[in-house]
């Protein structure tokens, strides 16, 4: 099940999702990271960052709300410890980078993009867990384009640059197009949705940061919709799809909508082996439906649409 994504050929179509397993060490006891398409790291920032105040996790009926706030040790620690470890393990690394300014993103691209073992950069312009929503570049097409243009210029041409988009926008296609026009080689979608939980005992917001990012099964239909819309508008742009994937059939929905590969995130919290399990289930689901190759299924739901319309089935 090889999966071409931008200019790289991944040996498998399932990846981890950024923010759910740091740089892969936590999952290593439970699965062989080399069997995955790649490990997508937690977003790296230039300097160490403590993140938002606690509590910063809350359960919801069908997902999880978090307001971690891009906590991390900074790029120097990542380059000294995490990236070498991934190389030694033989795992492919898609490195997620995040910043508070265009210059910070550019500096990260320059420091990380040329490092040995970096398969691609995922540019997180859409994290909702920052104190200032003004930092969410993905909510403005021009701001998103500025970041992607700067990152693309500072990243070696052999390393694909993926823009990670937010579903919390009026028109995700407009933002996607702006990123691609600015030099993005592909798109990651979706990041979490901005949400909120109120504790009915304390009568206060459950998270210290008040709002957080919603992930898990609740967001999957939103992710499928976003991938579908962007695939229809930009059919040649590579897409890494994610959002609430727990099973192979969940992953298949994203693939049929147009994702060239799929990331598994929140599911790893209660099943650390979920990425490989999902990959096995996806392989079986494709075989049962007569797909000879994984790539034959990418965007296949779009191909079915004219026939269904002809049969009188509403679009």
Catalytic residue of the set 20, 127, 139, 179: 127
> Cα–Cα distance between 8 and 221 in angstroms, integer?
28
- The HSE-up count of residue 3 (CA atoms within 13 Å, CB side) is 28
190 is in an annotated binding site: yes
252 is in an annotated binding site: no
42 is in an annotated binding site: yes
Residue 113's closest CA among 96, 127, 99? 96
CA angle 215, 299, 162 (to 5 degrees): 55
18 is in an annotated binding site: yes
243 is in an annotated binding site: yes
129 is in an annotated binding site: no
66 is in an annotated binding site: yes
Which of left, alpha, beta for 5 (phi over 0: left; psi -120 to 50: alpha)?
A: beta
Contact 223, 190 (CB under 8 A): yes
69 is in an annotated binding site: yes
68 is in an annotated binding site: yes
Contact 113, 122 (CB under 8 A): no
DSSP assigned state of 192: P
The continuous run of DSSP H or E covering 195 comes out as strand 193-196
To the query of whether residue 226 is one of the catalytic residues in this protein, the response is no
* Structure tokens belonging to residue 127: 């994290």
- Cβ-based burial of 85 (10 A; exposed 0-12, middle 13-18, buried ≥19): middle
216 is in an annotated binding site: yes
Residues in binding site for FMN? 18, 42-43, 124, 164, 190, 216, 243-244, 265-266
Residues in binding site for substrate? 42, 66-70, 124, 191-192
Catalytic site residues?
A: 127
Residues in binding site? 18, 42-43, 66-70, 124, 164, 190-192, 216, 243-244, 265-266
């Amino acid at each position: 099940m090889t999966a071409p994504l931008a200019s790289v050929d991944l040996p498998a179509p399932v990846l981890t999702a950024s923010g759910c397993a740091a740089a892969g060490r936590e999952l290593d006891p439970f699965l062989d990271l080399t069997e995955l398409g790649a490990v997508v790291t937690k977003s790296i920032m230039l300097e160490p960052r403590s993140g938002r105040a606690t509590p910063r996790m809350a359960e919801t009926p069908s997902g999880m709300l978090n307001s971690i706030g891009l906590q991390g040790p900074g790029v120097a620690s990542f380059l000294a410890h995490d990236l070498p470890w991934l190389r030694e393990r033989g795992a492919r690394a898609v490195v997620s980078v995040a910043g508070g300014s265009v210059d910070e993103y550019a500096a990260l691209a320059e420091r990380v993009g040329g490092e040995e073992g970096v398969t691609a950069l995922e540019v997180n312009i859409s994290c909702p867990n920052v104190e200032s929503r003004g930092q969410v570049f993905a909510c403005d097409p021009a701001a998103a384009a500025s970041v992607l243009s700067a990152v693309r210029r500072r990243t070696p041409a052999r390393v694909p640059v993926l823009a990670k988009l937010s579903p919390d926008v009026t028109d995700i296609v407009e933002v996607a197009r702006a990123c691609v026009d600015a030099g993005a080689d592909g798109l990651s979608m979706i990041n979490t949705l901005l949400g909120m939980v109120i504790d009915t005992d304390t009568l206060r917001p459950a998270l210290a940061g008040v709002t957080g990012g919603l992930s898990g099964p609740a967001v999957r239909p939103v992710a499928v919709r976003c991938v579908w819309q962007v695939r229809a508008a930009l059919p040649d742009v590579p897409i890494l799809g994610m959002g609430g994937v727990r099973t192979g059939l969940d992953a298949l929905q994203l693939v049929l909508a147009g994702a060239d590969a799929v990331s598994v995130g929140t599911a790893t919290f209660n099943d650390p082996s979920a990425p490989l399990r999902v990959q096995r289930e996806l392989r079986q689901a494709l075989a049962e439906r007569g797909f000879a190759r994984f790539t034959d299924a990418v965007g296949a739901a779009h191909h079915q649409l004219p026939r269904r319309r002809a049969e009188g089935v509403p679009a």
